[in-house]
Chain A
Amino acid sequence: MNRSTEEVLSFDEAMEKYDPVLGFEVHVELNTRTKMFDAAPNVFGDEPNTNVTPVSLGLPGVLPVVNRVAVESAIKLGLALGCEIRPVSHFARKNYFYPDTPKNFQTSQYDEPIAENGSVDVELEDGTVFTVEIERAHMEEDAGKLTHMGGAAGRIQGADFSLVDYNRAGVPLIEIVTKPIVGAGSRAPELARVYVAMIREIVKNLGISDAKMERGNVRCDANVSLMPKGSATFGTRSETKNVNSLRAVERAVRFEIQRHAAVLDSGGTIVQETRHWHEDTRSTTSGRPKSDADDYRYFPEPDLVPVVTDHEWIERLRAELPEPPAERRRRLRTDWGFSDEEFRDVVNAGVLDEIEQTVAAGAAPAAARKWWMGEIARLANQRETEIADLGVTPQHVVELNGLIDAGKINDKLAKKVLAHVLDGEGSPAEVVERRGLAVVSDDSVLTAAIDDAMAQMPDVVAKVQAGKVQAVGALIGPVMKATRGQADAGRVRELILEKLGVQG
Chain B
Amino acid sequence: MTSTGTPQGVVGLSAAELARRLAAGELTSVDAVQAHLDRIRETDGAPVDPADRSRGKTGLNAFLHVNAEEALSVAAEVDAARARGEELPELAGVPIAVKDLIVTQGQPTTAASRMLEGWMSPYDATVTRKLRAARMPMLGKTNLDEFAMGSSNEHSAFGDTRNPWDLSRIPGGSGGGSAAAVTAFQTPLALGTDTGGSIRQPAALTGSVGVKPTYGGVSRYGVIAMASSLDQVGPVSRTVLDAALLHEVIGGHDPQDSTSLPDPVGDLAAQARAGAAGGGLAGLRVGVVKELTGEGFQPGVQQRFQEAVELLRSAGAEVVEVSTPNFKYALGAYYLIMSSEVSSNLAKYDGVRFGHRVLPEDGPLTIERVMGSTRAAGFGAEVKRRIILGTYALSAGYYDAYYGSAQKVRTLVQRDFAAAFEQVDVLVSPTAPTTAFERGAVDESADPMQMYLNDIATIPTNLAGVPAISVPGGLAPEDGLPVGIQFMAPARQDARLYRAGAGLEALLEQRWGGPLWQALPDTAALVRDLAGDPAAPDLSAPVRGGAR
Near A by CB (< 8 A), chain B positions 320-352 give: 340-341, 343-344, 347-350, 352
Whether A105 contacts B103 by the Cβ 8 Å rule is no
Near A by CB (< 8 A), chain B positions 336-379 give: 340-341, 343-344, 347-350, 352-354, 367-368, 371
Closest Cβ of chain A to B139, distance in Å, is 20
Please give me the residue from chain B that is nearest to A91 by CB atom: B258
A97 and B353 alpha carbons, distance in the complex (Å): 13
Q: A99-B367, A297-B344, A299-B394 are in contact. Are A59 and B123 (CB under 8 A)?
A: yes
Q: A104-B348, A295-B395, A297-B391 are in contact. Are A59 and B258 (CB under 8 A)?
A: no
Near B by CB (< 8 A), chain A positions 70-101 give: 93, 95, 97, 99
Closest Cβ of chain B to A88, distance in Å, is 16
Near A by CB (< 8 A), chain B positions 391-420 give: 391, 394-396, 399, 403
Near B by CB (< 8 A), chain A positions 157-181 give: 162, 164, 166
Interface centre among B224, B344, B349 (most CB of A within 10 A): B344
Please give me the residue from chain B that is nearest to A93 by CB atom: B344
A65 at the interface (CB under 8 A from B): yes
Q: Which of B103, B223, B258, B395 contacts A305 (CB 8 A)?
A: B258
Q: Which residues of the partner chain A approach B532 to less than 8 Å between Cβ atoms?
A: none
Closest Cβ of chain A to B414, distance in Å, is 15
The stretch of B30-38, B51-59, B91-99, B114-122 in contact with A is B114-122
Q: Which residues of the partner chain A approach B225 to less than 8 Å between Cβ atoms?
A: 60-61, 303
B255 at the interface (CB under 8 A from A): yes
Near B by CB (< 8 A), chain A positions 35-68 give: 54, 57-66
Whether A58 contacts B348 by the Cβ 8 Å rule is yes
Whether B121 contacts A297 by the Cβ 8 Å rule is no
Whether B395 contacts A102 by the Cβ 8 Å rule is no
Please give me the residue from chain A that is nearest to B349 by CB atom: A60
B256 at the interface (CB under 8 A from A): yes
Q: Which residues of the partner chain A approach B220 to less than 8 Å between Cβ atoms?
A: 63
Q: Which residues of the partner chain B approach A299 to less than 8 Å between Cβ atoms?
A: 340-341, 344, 394, 399, 403
Q: Which residues of the partner chain B approach A66 to less than 8 Å between Cβ atoms?
A: 258
Closest Cβ of chain A to B39, distance in Å, is 29
Whether B394 contacts A97 by the Cβ 8 Å rule is no
Q: Which residues of the partner chain A approach B340 to less than 8 Å between Cβ atoms?
A: 299
Binary contact readout A13-32 vs B (1 if CB under 8 angstroms, 0 otherwise): 00000000000000000000
B538 at the interface (CB under 8 A from A): no
Closest Cβ of chain A to B464, distance in Å, is 15
A304 at the interface (CB under 8 A from B): yes
Whether A59 contacts B221 by the Cβ 8 Å rule is no
Q: Which of A59, A61, A295, A303 contacts B396 (CB 8 A)?
A: A295
Q: A61-B223, A62-B221, A104-B347 are in contact. Are A303 and B228 (CB under 8 A)?
A: yes
A264 and B348 alpha carbons, distance in the complex (Å): 43
A212 at the interface (CB under 8 A from B): no
Q: A297-B395, A299-B340 are in contact. Are A61 and B221 (CB under 8 A)?
A: yes
A166 and B343 alpha carbons, distance in the complex (Å): 23
B contacts with A, residue count (CB < 8 A): 44
A102 and B347 alpha carbons, distance in the complex (Å): 9
B125 at the interface (CB under 8 A from A): yes
Whether A305 contacts B222 by the Cβ 8 Å rule is no
A241 at the interface (CB under 8 A from B): no
Whether A61 contacts B121 by the Cβ 8 Å rule is yes
Q: A66-B258, A297-B394, A303-B228 are in contact. Are A60 and B119 (CB under 8 A)?
A: yes
Whether A60 contacts B258 by the Cβ 8 Å rule is no
Whether B224 contacts A60 by the Cβ 8 Å rule is yes
A59 and B352 alpha carbons, distance in the complex (Å): 11
Interface centre among A97, A162, A302 (most CB of B within 10 A): A302
Q: Which of A62, A162, A297, A305 contacts B367 (CB 8 A)?
A: A162
Tally of A-B Cβ pairs under 8 angstroms: 97
Near A by CB (< 8 A), chain B positions 82-123 give: 102-103, 109, 111, 116, 119, 121-123
A66 and B256 alpha carbons, distance in the complex (Å): 10
Q: Which residues of the partner chain B approach A93 to less than 8 Å between Cβ atoms?
A: 344
Q: Which residues of the partner chain B approach A302 to less than 8 Å between Cβ atoms?
A: 227-229, 259, 341
Whether B258 contacts A304 by the Cβ 8 Å rule is yes
Please give me the residue from chain A that is nearest to B371 by CB atom: A97
A145 at the interface (CB under 8 A from B): no
Q: Which of B111, B122, B227 contacts A59 (CB 8 A)?
A: B122
Q: Which residues of the partner chain A approach B49 to less than 8 Å between Cβ atoms?
A: none
Closest Cβ of chain B to A297, distance in Å, is 4
B interface majority secondary structure: loop
Q: Which residues of the partner chain B approach A415 to less than 8 Å between Cβ atoms?
A: none
A103 at the interface (CB under 8 A from B): yes
Closest Cβ of chain A to B535, distance in Å, is 42
Whether A61 contacts B258 by the Cβ 8 Å rule is no
B257 at the interface (CB under 8 A from A): yes
Whether A303 contacts B258 by the Cβ 8 Å rule is yes
A401 and B429 alpha carbons, distance in the complex (Å): 87
Q: Which of B116, B343, B352 contacts A99 (CB 8 A)?
A: B352
Closest Cβ of chain B to A302, distance in Å, is 4
Near A by CB (< 8 A), chain B positions 39-70 give: none
Binary contact readout A281-309 vs B (1 if CB under 8 angstroms, 0 otherwise): 00000000000000101110011110000
Whether B352 contacts A61 by the Cβ 8 Å rule is no
Whether A57 contacts B394 by the Cβ 8 Å rule is no
Q: Which of A63, A99, A103 contacts B256 (CB 8 A)?
A: A63
Binary contact readout A401-414 vs B (1 if CB under 8 angstroms, 0 otherwise): 00000000000000
Binary contact readout B439-481 vs A (1 if CB under 8 angstroms, 0 otherwise): 0000000000000000000000000000000000000000000
A54 and B354 alpha carbons, distance in the complex (Å): 12
Q: A59-B353, A61-B222, A302-B229 are in contact. Are A54 and B259 (CB under 8 A)?
A: no
A298 and B119 alpha carbons, distance in the complex (Å): 30
Q: Which residues of the partner chain A approach B391 to less than 8 Å between Cβ atoms?
A: 297
Please give me the residue from chain B that is nearest to A103 by CB atom: B348
A305 and B227 alpha carbons, distance in the complex (Å): 15
Whether B347 contacts A63 by the Cβ 8 Å rule is no
A93 and B344 alpha carbons, distance in the complex (Å): 8
Q: Which of B221, B259, B347, B395 contacts A97 (CB 8 A)?
A: B347
A166 and B394 alpha carbons, distance in the complex (Å): 28
Interface centre among A57, A61, A62, A295 (most CB of B within 10 A): A61
Q: Which residues of the partner chain B approach A298 to less than 8 Å between Cβ atoms?
A: 394
A104 and B354 alpha carbons, distance in the complex (Å): 13
Closest Cβ of chain B to A313, distance in Å, is 18
Q: Which residues of the partner chain A approach B224 to less than 8 Å between Cβ atoms?
A: 60-61
Q: Which residues of the partner chain B approach A166 to less than 8 Å between Cβ atoms?
A: 353
A105 and B123 alpha carbons, distance in the complex (Å): 22
Q: Which residues of the partner chain A approach B103 to less than 8 Å between Cβ atoms?
A: 60-61
A66 and B109 alpha carbons, distance in the complex (Å): 27
Please give me the residue from chain B that is nearest to A100 by CB atom: B352
A95 and B387 alpha carbons, distance in the complex (Å): 13
A78 and B371 alpha carbons, distance in the complex (Å): 39
Closest Cβ of chain A to B100, distance in Å, is 11
Whether B221 contacts A105 by the Cβ 8 Å rule is no
A496 and B116 alpha carbons, distance in the complex (Å): 89
A58 and B350 alpha carbons, distance in the complex (Å): 11
Whether A102 contacts B125 by the Cβ 8 Å rule is no
Closest Cβ of chain A to B118, distance in Å, is 13
Please give me the residue from chain A that is nearest to B351 by CB atom: A99
Closest Cβ of chain A to B5, distance in Å, is 35
Q: Which residues of the partner chain A approach B350 to less than 8 Å between Cβ atoms?
A: 97, 99, 104
A118 and B410 alpha carbons, distance in the complex (Å): 35
Q: Which residues of the partner chain B approach A60 to less than 8 Å between Cβ atoms?
A: 103, 109, 111, 116, 119, 121, 224-225, 348-349, 354
Q: Which 9 A-B pairs have the closest CB atoms?
A: A104-B347, A297-B394, A302-B229, A302-B228, A61-B222, A60-B224, A61-B103, A54-B123, A103-B348
Q: Using A58-B353, A162-B367 as known contacts, list a sample of 9 further A-B pairs with CB atoms less than 8 Å apart, ordered by residue number in A.
A: A59-B353, A60-B224, A62-B222, A63-B258, A97-B350, A99-B350, A103-B347, A297-B344, A299-B399
Sampled A-B contacts (25; CB under 8 Å): A58-B353, A60-B103, A60-B109, A60-B116, A60-B121, A60-B349, A61-B103, A61-B222, A62-B222, A63-B257, A93-B344, A95-B394, A97-B350, A99-B350, A103-B347, A104-B347, A164-B352, A295-B395, A297-B395, A297-B399, A299-B340, A299-B394, A299-B399, A302-B228, A304-B258
